[in-house]
Amino acid sequence: MTFAAKILKPRHGRLDLRAGRVELSHGSGGRAMAQLIAEVFQPALGNAFLAQGNDQAILPPAGGRLAMTTDGYVVSPLFFPGGDIGSLAVHGTVNDLAMAGATPLYLTASFIIEEGFPLADLVRIAVSMGRAARAAGVPVVTGDTKVVERGKADGVFISTAGVGVVPAGLDLSGDRARPGDAVILSGSIGDHGVAIMSCRENLKFDTEVRSDSAPLHGLVAAMVAAAAPHLRLMRDPTRGGLAATLNEIAQQSGVGFAVDEARILVKPQVAAACELLGLDPLFVANEGKLLAVVEPAGVDAVLGAMRAHPFGRDAAHIGTVVKDEHRFVQMTTAFGGGRIVDWLAGEQLPRIC
Amino acid sequence: MTFAAKILKPRHGRLDLRAGRVELSHGSGGRAMAQLIAEVFQPALGNAFLAQGNDQAILPPAGGRLAMTTDGYVVSPLFFPGGDIGSLAVHGTVNDLAMAGATPLYLTASFIIEEGFPLADLVRIAVSMGRAARAAGVPVVTGDTKVVERGKADGVFISTAGVGVVPAGLDLSGDRARPGDAVILSGSIGDHGVAIMSCRENLKFDTEVRSDSAPLHGLVAAMVAAAAPHLRLMRDPTRGGLAATLNEIAQQSGVGFAVDEARILVKPQVAAACELLGLDPLFVANEGKLLAVVEPAGVDAVLGAMRAHPFGRDAAHIGTVVKDEHRFVQMTTAFGGGRIVDWLAGEQLPRIC
């Protein structure tokens, strides 16, 4: 049963969206759930598909290979500079589709809510989710709400799934990196993770660190238009950061990487916060960046397209795929030395997304 | 980032799947997460799509209108007679697609796990989910794992989403019931909710009450093959039970219902448990039953097709759609009297699915 099913009007009064709280009955399938959906989710997320009012959304034929993904969001705190769990859930799922070169079409949203959660916060999250979905042009077509007892969850968890369609002829995959390919990064790293950690530690900086949470499908579309035949793969370095992403691709493709630390952009305030928190920005999560592996012949076209897009202005060619049976990620440091970037670190940052 | 991405082999020892527990690092995007996925989820859920190893699954074109749905599962206890949260998550999402007459194609699974959860239980859930998915012929093509701190969740929550394709010409929707249509129920009611409540209350009966959790797309396909032009709508009476489902349809279609209690099958042990627990089976959740609204001309064909299917053997014509501006669900009781079946009750059963 999805929340699209609950389109009837409740009979008794309206919810107190300023001071009210979520109750167990709001997840029961009865009239209280209908009211929560009618007064919170429908106004925030409403679109023609959601309004069908059945336990599933019926959508036009997609015409092409489908891409499908899912992600759970348990970020703490729920609200942070640059976003919240609602917008993050939209961006994260849109981005996982975009990394296959897919055009994201539809999202679903499953809310698991702790009893007693303030309705005002739920409205804020739903409104933010709806705004992010509209801005991305990817509607939330169906959803579900469950409520668990106080102390059995932590505010709100959201799981989103997404469906997209892959343009004909495009085949991006983590196993396609080849020695000699270029590694391109769309911008600065560490912003999201540091924004979250700064919230938790209540750190104040002269310049606030904001999450980079953003939908990347427009940037990807520009890259595909500019140089589709030269694109090997794309991936967004979320949990585990750039280090985990490079190591994953190294394993999948059976290659190594040689990257140049001096070409990896870290904003000064992010670098300062990382120093204070004992974090290495290479291992810190991003939510609005992508890494692309590109044939040498396509580098200029890809970089040109990226730098012309608001989310790729700082795109840089940070390194090269190398032949390496050990599948190491090697980095030339800013001081001219070298190190192996493993991905063991970064496990100390739970609930970053 | 989805768990499809984590295909590499971990370097250090194997997980202790008998006595080990889930740790925060298993949700971090690092090597521990890779190990959890490689040793728990891949063996249980593995299929060619999941093995692609990217942050999304790429799937063949679907060729037709898409159906899309999602559901969160927070059932407590996680294991119950007749199923567990893993099989329930497969069946519930398959059924929400099937209720549109759609052929379910693919599932996604998002796991939110509490730190300290026994690995043995996680394996049991994943294996059950994989078995249910294979039995239904609907693979879990991509997934995600998050871990939250001890006390911030309750064991495991699962959110599934599903995509299916709707046969050409078929248009089932909750607003299509018309006065004179027949109401058909596929079998007994109350089994799932009573199985869960009996577990919680530690009730013992001579005959164990088992959940009816089952995938209904095969039954639906048989009904569509037998009488597609006569089918108005289908719905599975989950949370809120048969009472909520009838009231929802009454609201959506602007009609009333007249149903006959004597024709609604309630197993003796379910009736006995309901009496003991103070529940009305009309309001208790089902997870393997469907209600169909059918044009009178199609009733015999639909009933014939249903009774020939293992999940529709006890199908019965339980009532009629009537003209009623009040949109009431009226029931002739077994004693010959009458009552209005509202849907206010049933809000006292949290976490039934």
Q: Which two tokens stand for residue B78?
A: 């996680």
Give chain B positions within 8 Å (CB) of A143.
70
- In chain B, the residue whose alpha carbon lies closest to the alpha carbon of A99 is B55
Last residue of a domain, one of B117, B132, B166: B166
Confidence of residue A229 (pLDDT cuts 50, 70, 90): very high
| A161 and A237 in a common domain | no
Question: From the candidates B3, B6, B12, B66, which should be mutated to test the interface with A, based on the most A CB atoms within 10 A?
Answer: B66
> Would you say residue A344 has pLDDT above 80?
no
Q: What percent of chain A has pLDDT over 70?
A: 95
Q: Do B25 and A109 touch (CB under 8 A)?
A: no
What is the residue-wise DSSP string for B317-342? EEEEEE--TT--EEEE-TTS-EEE--
Select the more confidently predicted residue: B335 or A288.
A288
Residue pLDDT, tens place only, A88-116: 999 999 999 999 999 999 999 999 999 99
| B187 and B133 in a common domain | no
Average pLDDT, chain A: 93
Q: Which of A33-42, A196-205, A229-238 has the lowest mean pLDDT?
A: A196-205
Last residue of a domain, one of A122, A142, A166: A166
Distance CA B142, CA B161 (A): 10
Q: What pLDDT does residue B46 have?
A: 87
Q: Do B66 and A58 touch (CB under 8 A)?
A: yes
Q: What pLDDT does residue A334 have?
A: 82
Amino acid at A141: V
Report if residue A134 sits inside a domain. yes
Give chain A positions within 8 Å (CB) of B29.
238-241, 244, 285, 346
Q: Which of A215-219, A280-284, A345-349, B191-195 has the lowest mean pLDDT?
A: A345-349
In three-state secondary structure terms, A316 is strand
Give chain A positions within 8 Å (CB) of B67.
56-59
Confidence of residue A201 (pLDDT cuts 50, 70, 90): confident
What is the residue-wise DSSP string for A181-231? -EEEE-S-SSHHHHHHHHHHHT---SS---------HHHHHHHHHHHGGGE
| A17 and A162 in a common domain | yes
Q: What pLDDT does residue B347 have?
A: 56
Q: Which domain holds residue B64?
A: 3-166
Pair B151, B82: CB distance under 8 Å: no
**What is the DSSP-derived secondary structure letter of residue B66?**
E
Report if residue B172 sits inside a domain. no
CATH of the domain at A149: 3.30.1330.10
Q: What pLDDT does residue A115 have?
A: 97
Q: How many cross-chain Cβ pairs, A to B, lie less than 8 Å apart?
A: 302
- Work out the angle between the directed axes of helices B119-136 and B85-98 (0-180°, nearest 10): 30
> Would you say residue A1 has pLDDT above 50?
no
Q: What pLDDT does residue A349 have?
A: 78
Report if residue B323 sits inside a domain. yes
Question: From the candidates A36, A69, A140, A293, which should be mutated to test the interface with B, based on the most B CB atoms within 10 A?
Answer: A69
Query: What ipTM goes with this model?
Result: 0.95
| B92 and B23 in a common domain | yes
Give chain B positions within 8 Å (CB) of A32.
347
Distance CA A10, CA B116 (A): 41
Q: Quick one: average pLDDT of A152-160?
A: 98
Report if residue B176 sits inside a domain. no
Residue pLDDT, tens place only, A236-270: 999 999 999 999 999 999 999 999 999 999 999 99
Give the gap in angstroms from C-alpha A100 to the nearest C-alpha of chain B.
7
Give the gap in angstroms from C-alpha A350 to the nearest C-alpha of chain B.
6
Q: What pLDDT does residue A3 have?
A: 58
| B157 and B24 in a common domain | yes
Report if residue A278 sits inside a domain. yes
| B152 and B10 in a common domain | yes
Helix (H), strand (E) at residue B256: strand B256-260
Q: Which of A269-283, B5-19, B84-98 has the lowest mean pLDDT?
A: B5-19
CATH of the domain at A225: 3.90.650.10
Buried b (16+ CB within 10 A) or exposed e, A252-268: bbebbbbbbbeebbbbe
Q: What pLDDT does residue A310 have?
A: 98
| A295 and A159 in a common domain | no
Average pLDDT, chain B: 93
Pair A91, A214: CB distance under 8 Å: yes
Report if residue B171 sits inside a domain. no
> Would you say residue A6 has pLDDT above 50?
no
Nearest-by-Cβ selection for B66 from A59, A235, A345:
A59
> Would you say residue A315 has pLDDT above 50?
yes
Nearest-by-Cβ selection for B350 from A24, A111, A252:
A24
Q: What pLDDT does residue B32 have?
A: 86
Highest mean pLDDT (candidates B30-34, B53-57, B99-103) = B99-103
Within 10 angstroms of residue B74's Cβ, the number of other Cβ atoms is 28
Q: With a CB-CB cutoff of 8 Å, which residues 129-188 of chain B face chain A? A: 141-149, 151-154, 157, 159, 161, 163-164, 166, 172-175
Nearest-by-Cβ selection for A2 from B96, B144, B345:
B96
Q: Quick one: average pLDDT of B145-170?
A: 97
> Would you say residue B4 has pLDDT above 70?
no
| B207 and B156 in a common domain | no
> Would you say residue A345 has pLDDT above 80?
no
Q: Quick one: average pLDDT of B155-167?
A: 97
Give the gap in angstroms from C-alpha B37 to the nearest C-alpha of chain A.
14
Give chain A positions within 8 Å (CB) of B174.
5, 53-54
Confidence of residue B229 (pLDDT cuts 50, 70, 90): very high
Q: Do A61 and B57 touch (CB under 8 A)?
A: no
Q: What pLDDT does residue B208 have?
A: 85
Check if B102 contacts A (Cβ < 8 Å): yes
- In chain A, the residue whose alpha carbon lies closest to the alpha carbon of B170 is A58
Check if A198 contacts B (Cβ < 8 Å): no
Report if residue B345 sits inside a domain. no
> Would you say residue B345 has pLDDT above 60?
no
| B294 and B229 in a common domain | yes
| A200 and A159 in a common domain | no
Give chain B positions within 8 Å (CB) of A328.
none
> Would you say residue B159 has pLDDT above 90?
yes
Q: How many domains does chain B have?
A: 2
Last residue of a domain, one of A133, A166, A199: A166
Select the more confidently predicted residue: A211 or A278.
A211
Report if residue A241 sits inside a domain. yes
| B94 and B63 in a common domain | yes
| B125 and B29 in a common domain | yes
Confidence of residue A4 (pLDDT cuts 50, 70, 90): very low
